Amino acid sequence: MPKARDVHARRFDLKRVLFEDRHFSIAWGHFKGRDRKDCVGVRWRGKGSARGFPRAAWLVVPKWLAMMFLAKTAKKKSAKVAEIKITLKDLRGIREY
């Protein structure tokens, strides 16, 4: 399955990759929906012959969940800790979504 940087979603502009392994990606980006907001997006990349999320789709994670999600993710081997710290700071500065 494609890496996060290679996924060009119509409604999610990727700003930075926060975590990526063979099966899962987490990114900070800009959602171009009705609310137009910066947010954390997650994407299942698939496993084996599974194709992962259909097309170039990202699931937007609510702010309250994203904060907890990223705090735990920072402890994982494939985490980009410096990028996660910047994103946590960015998240604190925006209203709930």
Burial 58-88 (b: 16+ CB within 10 A, else e): bebbebeebeebbeebbeeeebbeebbeebb
Q: What's the domain range around 28? A: 4-91
28 found inside a domain: yes
The token pair that represents 19 in the structure block: 């975590």
CA distances from residue 38 to 63, 78, 90 in whole angstroms, order as listed: 10, 23, 9
- Residue 53 CB neighbour total at 10 angstroms: 17
The Cα 51–Cα 7 span in angstroms is 13
The Cα 67–Cα 65 span in angstroms is 5
Q: What is the pLDDT of residue 49?
A: 55
96 found inside a domain: no
pTM of structure: 0.85
61 found inside a domain: yes
19 found inside a domain: yes
24 found inside a domain: yes
86 found inside a domain: yes
| Total structural domains within the chain | 1
- 36 — phi, psi (to 5°)? 45, 90
pLDDT digits 0-9 by tens, 21-75: 988 899 999 998 777 789 999 998 866 555 566 666 888 999 889 999 999 999 9
